Structure 1
Amino acid sequence: MTVTTKKIELYDTTLRDGTQGEHINLSVQDKLLIAQKLDEFGMDYIEGGWPSSNPKDEEFFIKARQLSFKHARLTAFGSTARFVKSVESDPNLLGLLHSETPVITIFGKTWQAHSEKSLGISDEENAELIYRSVAFLKQQGREVFFDAEHFFDGYKNNPEFALKMLLSAVEGGASRIVLCDTNGGSLPHEVTDIVSRVLAVTGVPVGIHSHNDGDLAVANSIASVMAGATHIQGTINGIGERCGNANLISIIPNVMLKLQRSFTFVEHLTQLTSLSKFVYEILNMPSNTRAPFVGKSAFAHKGGIHVSAVMKESSLYEHINPTQVGNRQRVLVSELAGQSNIRYKAHELGITLPEKSELFKNIVHHIKELEHEGYQFDGAEASFELLLHKEIGNFKPFFEVLETKVHIESSKNAKNVDQAVLKVRVGEEIEHIAADGDGPVNALDKALRKALIHFYPEIKSIKLVDYKVRVLEEKRGTSAKVRVLIESSNGRFTWGTVGVSTNIIEASLHALEDSMNYHLFTLKASAPAAKQVPQG
């Protein structure tokens, strides 16, 4: 196996290959924003698109000329010329030159079956096509990378043909040879062997471009580095056609932290998590909570035994320190929780719990009972925090809902307006309030606010930003329990609360009550004692 200490180049193709994925769509402005973020992170090359394939990419390259990159070199992507006799007038190659990027990447056929069946040309004609296309672009003053399409399949089928195509690109002046696992079906040991053989004959830096059809794109990219490759292509979050491309978000920390290898410009990984989230946000997609290194669950611990060990020495259950990649350790509270989970979460929330083993046992027992009923505190930490404060006597509800009535109206000829009627007690006073809403939950929310606003004007700032319903016992049909998760915000931070019942209205009301109580509790806890409103 070839071992090298050369720095590794990062070639990002999120803006081109990434956009070929299903449900992935980027505007020109989106691509410009991502390009700037990639440059800030330290990418060596940013592939902006295929300028001859669509007007959007052509517009991107025009507008990208106004960007000032600190590190990255912008790259245009395309294919070799279609015909040997018309290389100098080929529309695709001319479009690549018109993009005015310093680097151009072109792909060519290195699997004999594609050359014969797709292009319908001989081996010699294909080699000439690659050589002349690269040489033409090189003569125009551009650095040229050659993407060897379907190389691993082609090499396994006919190594002589595949290597001959690579050498034609090298002879034409290509400064990088990138081996593409286009079908994504290769295994790491195959990649290691083939990359080593290519390095022995090419004489120029070799790169890897892996697809994830076998769920091995990251592993194959790392295998290529172990074999001596010094150029890695991939996308942020692994987006791309079919099952996606090699995920740079996973490759980068593995190479730096596990292989102890360096990239040209990336020195610190603390922005890795924010980069991943930024791209998801631009794509208008939810982040992958289970993504290695950067996912919300990547360093989340649920089992009591695990948490107990993590509190003593985090490396016992964490392969790296999460802060190295801009992530954080999380401890979840569930039916699998032990006393260590409770201690950890209390400390994280700034709650001082008395050192009484009986108290912790009671809390753990209570939580397990609630989870058995259907409660879930993973996404409802505000409800959990209130539960802790209540157990130690720090919290009493600010109000009590005595009665609830919801009238649901349905009409084909008029706008549906639902009504909620609440009887709410605050201290010694009772408010009897009705409110209309767009749906029963909206009506409940409005009625509860209306009942409380006189006593607690602070609730004006609360907004309901997310509402989820989960049926817990699907086989029971309409009599099943439901779990309602609500996310609320006051403009400064957000919090989650939960309610469970066989009645969706009641479950929603419980979650709304916790949301209001949590907001009021956090405000009162930080206010001078003289200004506090008596609770309950």
Structure 2
Amino acid sequence: MSNASREKIMIFDTTLRDGAQTRGVAFSVEDKIRIARGLDQLGVDFIEGGWPGSNPKDVAFFHEMKKAPLSRASLTAFSSTRMKNMAVEEDANIRTLCETGVPAVAIFGKSWDLHVTEALETSLDENLAMVSSTISYLRGRFEKIIFDAEHYFDGFKADRGYALAVIEAAASAGADWIALCDTNGGSLPSEILEAQEAAAARVTVPLGIHAHNDSELAVANSLVAVGAGARMVQGTINGLGERCGNANLCSVIPNLELKGNFRCLPEGQLEKLTHISHLVSEAANRSQPDWLPYVGRNAFAHKGGIHVSAVRKNSRCYEHVSPELVGNDRIVTISELSGKSNVLEKVKKLGIDLSDDPKRTAGILKAVKELEARGYHFEGADASFELLSARELGTLKDYFTLQGFRVLTWAEGDGKSWSEATIKAAVPEEVSLSGGYSDPVEHTSADGSGPVEALDRALRKVLEKFYPVLGTVKLSDYKVRILNEEAGTNATTRVMISSTDGVDHWTTVGVSDNILDASWHALCDSLIYKLKKEDESRRHSGGGSIEEDKEVAYAAQN
């Protein structure tokens, strides 16, 4: 169904304001600008940039945004109604708001009598006057005015007459939209429905929903509100927000577009949803939550062999929508729960078709299950699985051979320590273009702040002479897990190493009852994986082989 035939839902993103209140998140001005540009490209309707009267950072953000306005979305500034017992034109927050130059403002006001009398410490009539006079003053100064009826649903339960009087005052004063807020996030869908219908019966101004997730119902409550007539949804990317967060727009938008007769984004923009989700996680300096619906890595991940077999025949068997619709990917994981279908699908992504080769498929599956029984974990180490498959298929080159290593750790009297690693490794001759060489053996050492860093430096000292491309590889993460704690110091250790060359990221795994041995296997695989991918890239592009690099490097040294 085309977007033209669907009813429009306005998407109001508050990641930069409400989302920035997430514990542990601190967006810089540059972060906020980058997120705003991404949201604009996604096609949301309103981007709430912050509260310019509350902090210098938000003032700076709005100032910078004047230099290059958004192309699609309405940049929106947030503020409260005027202070009690004060003329609106004398309120400093309101003056700062008017200096932003943005086309839209979101003004929040109290709609719960408890907040009026105990938080604001004013009268119910004065609160109504604060709402009315603020919106009237801003009318004509901005293209759009959104009134956020703070705590509307709690206020409706406490004194529905007063809560409805507040939104009626906002509507009469000229608000373009009224967003009903479940600020404490404690309302049930049935309560949202009742209070929403009562509001729609009282005012003709279009309504929106602003839900918090303290009861794990923000998305559900937003969908219920839309079903009851709300035509604006406020929320954040990835559900960021204070306490338990806000309604997650990465769930709300696809639910409305793919499962309801609604249009949220311009045609073709939904597939950018996963990208913006990752962009916000990166700016927030947080790992992307794998379990997020639609945009998380696990959203379309399949582990059980029966599931994968069915998905290979028809993805609808275990996927409620296609991952491509939201810009995500299908992932087939490899583990002891895998069947042949997992292996077939996984190696297919590597460009290998084993559909007519059950013997080699069974060989890979057997190797996986044997290694996982020893403690390996390929589900989070795709690079190691790729290398395992290549070894089983006999297609992995012998890039180097370890002849031995030794690690010493020194502890000094002042509490400082350092490690030294000595290794002996051979880089065998595979292709001789000019007479060549035979198994050049390197015996070298290097130090580091710890044993793994020392091993890494020593190994690179050997290999980068022959494979300069390894100079681009950096270790980005190192995780250790003890698999059988009851064994004490004899426990089996699993090490997972994440690496990057600045473009791609990959993870390798090693297991041993010796942590250095486990680290060594994961470390070697991380470098072998890079060499393998470099080989493949050169073959596809028609460039020189990695063996030619090795010959040139060796000749230069001798």
TM range (shorter): over 0.9
Instruction: Give the Å deviation of 1:81.
Output: 1.4
Deviation at 1:530, TM superposition (A): 10
Kindly indicate whether the alpha-carbon contact (under 8 Å) linking 2:511 and 2:518 is maintained by their aligned counterparts in 1.
yes
Contact 1:84 / 1:128 at 8 angstroms: preserved in 2?
A: no
State the secondary structure of the residue aligned to 1:515: helix
Instruction: Give matches, 1:302-381, under 5 Å.
Output: 302-353=303-354, 355-381=356-382
Shift in CA distance, 505/38, structure 1 to aligned 2, threshold 3 Å: same
Letter in 1 for 2:366: H
Paired residues for 1:273-284 under 5 Å: 273-284=274-285
| Whole-Å separation in 2 of the counterparts to 1:160 and 1:358 | 74
How far, CA to CA, are the matches of 1:456 and 1:205 in structure 2?
Answer: 64
Counterpart for residue 451 of structure 2? 440
Does the 8 A contact of 1:84 with 1:132 survive in 2? Answer: no
Partner of 2:526: 515
Deviation at 1:117, TM superposition (A): 1.7
Letter in 1 for 2:475: L
Change (3 A) 1:124 1:426: closer
1: CA distance, partners of 2:342 / 2:365: 9
Kindly state the Cα deviation for residue 99 of structure 1 after the two structures are TM-superposed: 2.0
Superposed CA deviations along residues 332-366 of structure 1, whole A, max 9, x for unmatched, are 00011000000011111012437343433332222
Please say if 1:469 is aligned against 2:480: yes
Give the equivalent residue in structure 2 for 1:497. Answer: 508
Instruction: Give the alignment partner of residue 483 of structure 1, picking from 480, 486, 494.
Output: 494
Matching residue of 1:132? 133
Distance of 1:267 and 1:327 partners within structure 2: 14
Partner of 1:20: 21
**Structure 2 residue matching 1:417: 3-state secondary structure:** strand
Does 2:111 match 1:100? no
Distance across 1 between alignment mates of 2:287 and 2:508: 20
Q: Is the 8 A contact 2:305 2:337 kept in 1?
A: yes
Deviations 1:108-154 (A, max 9, x none): 11111111222233322222221112112115455321111100011
CA 1:118 to 1:520, structure 2 compared with 1: closer, same or farther past 3 Å? closer
Q: Which residue of structure 1 lines up, in the alignment, with residue 174 of structure 2?
A: 173
8 Å CA contact 2:509–2:522 kept in 1: the answer is: yes
Report the CA distance between 1:200 and its aligned residue.
Answer: 1.5
Q: How does 1:232-311 map to 2 (within 5 A)?
A: 232-263=233-264, 265=266, 267-311=268-312
Sequence identity (%): 46
Tell me the alpha carbon deviations over residues 288-311 of structure 1, each in whole angstroms, 9 at most, x when there is no partner. Answer: 111111111111100000000000
Residues 380, 485 of structure 1: 8 Å contact kept: yes
Once the 2 structures are TM-superposed, how far is the Cα of residue 281 of structure 1 from its aligned partner? 1.2
Residues 49-58 or 122-131, more deviating: 122-131
| Cα distance change of structure 1 residues 450 and 142 upon mapping to structure 2, 3 Å threshold | closer
Structure 1 stretch displaced more, 19-28 or 263-272? 263-272
**Counterpart amino acid of 2:134?**
S
Q: How far off is 1:205 after superposition?
A: 0.3
Q: Is the 8 A contact 2:21 2:241 kept in 1?
A: yes
1:28-39 correspondence runs (5 A): 28-39=29-40
3-state SS, counterpart of residue 245 of structure 1? coil
Which whole-Å CA distance do the structure 2 matches of 1:51 and 1:455 have between them? 57
Corresponding residue to 2:470 among 455, 459, 471: 459
Structure 2 distance, partners of 1:281, 1:220, is: 28
1: CA distance, partners of 2:405 / 2:191:
66
Distance 1:325 1:474 in 2: 41
Task: Give the letter aligned to residue 235 of structure 2.
Answer: G
CA contact (8 A) 1:49 1:76 kept: yes
State the shift of 1:267 in Å.
Answer: 4.5
Question: CA, structure 1 residues 513+59, in 2 after alignment: closer, same or farther (shift >3 Å)?
Answer: closer
* CA apart distance, 1:175: 1.1
Q: What is the deviation of 1:72?
A: 1.1
CA offset digits 1:473-509 (Å, max 9, x no partner):
3344433222111223344533321101121110111
Q: Quick one: which amino acid aligns to residue 177 of structure 1?
A: I
Where does residue 391 of structure 1 map in the other structure?
392
Tell me, in whole angstroms, the C-alpha distance in 1 between the residues paired with 2:534 and 2:449. Answer: 29
CA separation in 1, counterparts of 2:20 and 2:471?
A: 42
Does the C-alpha gap of structure 1 residues 230 and 454 become closer, same or farther in structure 2, counting only changes over 3 Å? closer
- Pair 392,139 (structure 1): closer, same or farther in 2 beyond 3 Å: closer
Helix, strand or coil at the partner of 2:263? coil
Quickly say closer, same or farther: Cα 1:397–1:44, change in 2 above 3 A.
Answer: same
**Contact in 1 for aligned 2:29/2:60 (Cα 8 Å):** yes
Question: What residue ranges of structure 1 are gaps of 5+ in the alignment?
Answer: none
- Normalized against structure 1, the TM-score is what? 0.93
Aligned partners of 1:80 and 1:129 also within 8 Å: yes
How far did 1:434 drift?
Answer: 2.1
User: 1:119 matched to which residue of 2?
Assistant: 120
How many angstroms apart in 2 are the aligned matches of 1:36 and 1:404? Answer: 51
Q: Within 1, Cα distance between the matches of 2:302 and 2:356?
A: 23
Residue deviations 1:374-433 (CA, integer Å, cap 9, x gap): 111123222111211221222353332232210011114486331112232444554332
Q: Secondary structure at the match of 1:470?
A: strand
- Contact 2:336/2:369 (<8 A) preserved: yes
Q: How many residues align?
A: 532
Q: Which moved more, 1:470-479 or 1:230-239?
A: 470-479
Name which of 503, 511, 517 aligns with 1:506.
517
Query: Would the alpha carbon gap of residues 351 and 95 (structure 1) be closer, same or farther in structure 2, given more than 3 Å must change?
Result: same
Quick one: structure 1 residues 115 and 315, their matched pair in 2 at CA, closer, same or farther if it must change by over 3 Å? Answer: same
Matches within 5 A, 1:178-257: 178-257=179-258
SS at match of 1:465: strand
User: 2: distance between equivalents of 1:199 and 1:93?
Assistant: 29
1:186 shift after superposition: 0.8
Distance 1:283 1:32 in 2: 13
State the AA in 2 paired with 1:338. Answer: G
CA separation in 2, counterparts of 1:253 and 1:416? 53
SS at match of 2:298: coil
In structure 2, what residue type is equivalent to 1:253?
A: P
Cα separation, 2, equivalents of 1:177 and 1:114 = 19
Residue 107 of structure 1 deviates from its aligned partner by: 1.1
Higher mean alpha-carbon deviation, 144-153 vs 345-354, is at: 345-354
Deviation of the 1:162 alpha carbon: 0.6
Counterparts of 2:217 and 2:141, CA distance in 1: 38
Give the alignment's Cα RMSD to 1 decimal.
2.3
The reply on whether 1:88 has 2:89 as its aligned counterpart is yes
Change (3 A) 1:476 1:42: same
